[in-house]
Amino acid sequence: MLDVGPLDAFYGDSHIVQNVSITIGDGEGVAILGRNGVGKSTLFKSIMNGGPRVDGPIRLRGEDITGLPSFARARRGLGFVPEDRRIYPHLTVAENIAMGGHAARADRPPYTLEDIFGFFPLLRDLQTRRGFELSGGQQQLLAIARAIYGRPDCLLLDEPTEGLAPVIVEDLARQINAFRAANGTACLIAEQNVRFARTCTERLYLIDSGVIVFSGTWAEFDAQADLQQRYLAV
Amino acid sequence: MTSSTNGSTINGSTWRRDALIAAVALAVLVSLPFVANKGIVFVAGTLALHVVFGLSWNLMFGQTGLVSFGHASFFAIGGYAFAWTAKMFPQLHPLLLFAGAGVLGALVALVVGMIALRRSVGVYFAILSLALSQIVYLLLSYTPSLGQEDGLTGIRRPLLSLGLTTIDLARGDNYYYFMIAMCTLLAIGLWWVVHGSMGRVFKSIQQDPERAAFLGINVQGYRLRSFAIASGTTAIAGALYGPWLQLLTPEIAHWTFSARPILYTLLGGVQSFWGPVVGALCFAVLEYGTRTLHGLSEIVVGCILLLIVLAFPGGLLGGLSRLGKRMAGKPAVAAKPELAR
C-alpha cells in the first residue's frame, strides 16, 4: 500500500531522517515509536511533502508520488492528522469535518456526516460547536474525523494521544480500531504511548536519532526486554 | 482571529445587512448629480472605481493572504487596453471591450502568477508584483503608440447600444451612472466570491496554507484564482477610468498608485468586506477637503492617516466593532478553558 524510502529528510543542514524505509500493507496498522525529537514528525511531514527537504522514493499503491505536492497526496488517499491538529477555530465541528471533503475523488465520494457520527458518536452532540470551544481530546477526535471524511486508504496519525486524559485515550483507541475494522483502512501511527500504539497496530518500528533501530511485531518487541528501556524510557 | 471573524458565514443576516448598506450607498451615489456640483460628482465617480480597486486588492490580501505591491499595473493594463482598442476598433461594442479588458487583466495575472506564485509568497511575491508594476510603468512611458509620458488623450465616452435603445454615454451624467452600475456589478461579484465556497477556501489558505494542503486543497491553484479574479476586476475598473478622465497617463501604473488599495484596506479594516470601501471614502473626503492647501495637502493627509492607523490598529471598522462590543458590555469572546487539556 505505502512504501517509503530509503528516505532522507533535512531541515536546512540538519539531517533529521536518515535512510529510513517503511512499508505498510493493505489495511495494516503500523506504529512508529520513539522519544521526542527523533524525527517522527519529520518523517510524517516528508510522507506528505509538507516542509522538509526530502530525498528518496515514496510509493502509494505502486504509484510513485515523489515530487507531488501535499494536496495531491491527500487526494490520492493519504489522510494526515498533524500533531498540532489544526482545527479551524471559527468553523463548527460539522463544517470542520466537511473540509475533509476536499480530499475526496470522483470515484471515491466522501462519507456522510451521519457515517462520521456513527464512528465517533461524541461529535454528534458537538456538531454545532465551534473549533475554539473544544477540549484537546475533542479536537483530536475532530481532526481524525476530518481526515477520515474523504475516505483515505491510509491514515497518518502523528502523536494522537499527546496531551489527552487516559480515559479519552482508551475511547480513541477503540473507535479507531472499530473504524479501521469496518473499512479496511491502513494506518501509520507515531506514538510515545506504547499501550495505545499496541492496541491500534500489528507491527512497529523503533526510531532513534533519525535511524530505524528495530522493526517487527509486538511479540518480537516484547521478546527483547531491553528495547523499551533503551529507546523509550525517559 | 480566534474569536469573531467578521461573521463571514453566509447567513441571512450578513446578506441582508450588506444589501442594506449597499442600497444606502447606491441611493446617495445616484442622487448626487441632483444635489451636488460637477466637482463632487467627479470625485464620487472616481471613488466608485477606487472602491472596486480596493475591494479586489483585499480579496487577495484579507481573504487569501497574498500581498501585492503592484496592483496598479492591472488597473493600467485594463485602462490602456480599453482605450487603445476603442480607438483602433471603434465599431466594437463597448461592453465587449470592457469585458475584454477584464479578461486580459486576468490572463496577465495567470501568466505572472504561474511564475511568481510557484515558489514565492509573502514578501517575495510583494516584491515581484512591485517589479511587474514598474515594468508596466516603463513600457507605457516608452511606447509611442500609447502616448509615452504624455499619456493617451482624447478617449471618447462611447455609444452604448443595448438592443432596444442606444445610450450616448457622452451626454450629461450618463457615463457617471454607467460607471456606478458597472462598479456595483463588480462589487457584487466580489462579495459573492468572498462569501461563497471559493471565498471559504481562500480564507482557509490565508489562515494556514499547510493545513489546507494536507486536507487536499490545491493551494497554488486557488491562490492563482484569487490573483486572476482580483486582477480582472481591477482591469475593468481601469478600463472604466479612461473614458471618465478622457485621458490616461502612465502614472496609473506607478507604485504610488499601487499603494492606494493597501492604504484603503489598512485604513478601513482588513477583516471586514467593507473595510476598503470605508478607507477609500475617508481618503477621498480627506483629499477633497485639503485640495486647496497647495503643497500642504500631502502633509495634512499623511498626518491624519497616521493618527487613524495608530488609534485604530484594526482599521476604522475594526475599531468601531470593538467600540460597539464595549458599549454593549459584551466581553470579547474568548476560548473557554476546558478540562481535558
Greatest mean pLDDT range, A32-46, B230-244, B283-297: B230-244
**Helices B94-119 and B72-88: crossing angle, nearest 10°?**
150
Measuring CA to CA, which residue among A20, A15, A27, A12 is closest to residue A47?
Answer: A20
Q: Do B216 and A71 touch (CB under 8 A)?
A: yes
Q: What is the amino acid identity at position B243?
A: P
Average pLDDT, chain A: 90
Q: Is B173 helix (H, G, I), strand (E, B) or coil?
A: coil
C-alpha distances (whole Å) from B17 to each of B24, B56, B274, B276, B319 are 11, 21, 11, 17, 19
Over residues A109-140, the pLDDT tens digits come to 888 999 899 988 889 999 899 988 888 888 99
Q: Which residues in chain B have Cβ-Cβ distances shorter than 8 Å to A158?
A: none
A-interface mutation test, from B10, B207, B211, B339, most A Cβ less than 10 A away: B211
If pLDDT is split at 50, 70 and 90, which confidence band does A144 have? very high
In sequence order, what are the residues at sequence separation of 6 or more whose Cβ sits closer than 8 angstroms to the Cβ of residue A39? Answer: A9, A16, A17, A18, A20, A207, A209, A210
Residue A39 contacts residue A84 (beta carbons within 8 Å)? no
Question: Which value, in Å, is the radius of gyration of the alpha carbons in chain A?
Answer: 17
**What is the model's pLDDT at position B330?**
55
**This prediction's pTM:** 0.83
Q: Which one of B215, B336, B339 would you mutate to disrupt binding with A, by most A Cβ within 10 Å of its Cβ?
A: B215
Find the chain B residues whose C-beta atoms sit closer than 8 A to any C-beta of A.
Answer: 1-5, 201, 204, 207-208, 210-220, 335-336, 338-341
B269 contacts: CB under 8 Å, gap ≥ 6? B275, B278, B279, B312, B314, B315, B316, B317, B318, B319
B1–A88 CB contact, under 8 Å: no
pLDDT for residue B12 is more than 80:
no
Answer yes or no: do B219 and A71 touch at CB < 8 A. yes
- Answer for the pair B157, B239: CB distance below 8 angstroms, yes or no: no
Span A79-88, average pLDDT? 90
Measured between beta carbons, which residues in chain B are less than 8 angstroms from residue A163? 341
Distance from C-alpha of B132 to C-alpha of B126, rounded to nearest angstrom: 10
**Smallest Cα distance from B219 to chain A, Å:** 8
| pLDDT classification of A146: cutoffs 50, 70, 90 | very high
- Strands A63-64 and A203-208, how do they pair? unpaired
> Do B340 and A150 count as a contact with CB atoms less than 8 A apart?
no
The ranges assigned to domains in chain B are 41-259
Distance to chain B for A76, nearest Cα, Å:
9
Tell me whether residues B215 and A146 touch, CB distance under 8 A: yes
Q: What is the pLDDT of residue B339?
A: 38
- Burial label for A117, CB within 10 Å (0-12, 13-18, 19+), is buried
Q: What is the ipTM of this complex?
A: 0.81
pLDDT at B21 over 70: yes
- Closest CA of chain B from A216, distance in Å: 29
Q: Give the integer Cα–Cα distance in Å for A190 and A156.
A: 8
Does the beta-carbon distance from A132 to B335 stay under 8 Å?
A: yes
- Positive or negative torsion for Cα B231, B237, B243, B248: negative
For residue A227, the model assigns a pLDDT of 83
Structure confidence by residue, pLDDT tens digits, A18-28: 999 999 999 89
Q: Assess whether pLDDT exceeds 80 at residue B336.
A: no
Average pLDDT, chain B: 86
Q: Mutation test of the interface with chain B: which of A53, A70, A80, choosing the one with the most B Cβ atoms within 10 A?
A: A70
Q: Say yes or no to pLDDT of B334 above 60.
A: no
- Residues with Cβ < 8 Å from B273, sequence gap 6 or more? B6, B8, B18, B55, B58, B191, B194, B195
Q: What is the pLDDT of residues B94-126, one digit of tens each?
A: 899 999 999 999 999 999 999 888 877 778 889
- B218, A71: Cβ pair inside 8 Å? yes
Q: Average pLDDT for residues A196-212, to the nearest whole number?
A: 91
- pLDDT-based confidence at residue A68 (cuts at 50, 70, 90): very high
Domains present along chain A, CATH in parentheses: 2-231 (3.40.50.300)
Q: Between B215, B336, B340, which is nearest A100 by CB?
A: B215
Q: Which of A69, A89, A165 sits opposite B213 (nearest CB)?
A: A69
Indicate the helix (H) or strand (E) that contains B233. Answer: helix B219-245
Q: What is the mean pLDDT of residues A173-191?
A: 91
- Whether the CA torsion A191, A195, A199, A201 is positive or negative: it is positive
Asked if residue A69 has pLDDT above 60, the reply is yes
Q: In angstroms, rounded to a whole number, what is the distance separating the alpha carbons of residues B273 and B234?
A: 16
Residue B340 has its nearest CB partner, among A51, A88, A164, at: A164
User: What cell does B300 get?
Assistant: 495634512
**In this structure, what DSSP letter does residue A81 have?**
E
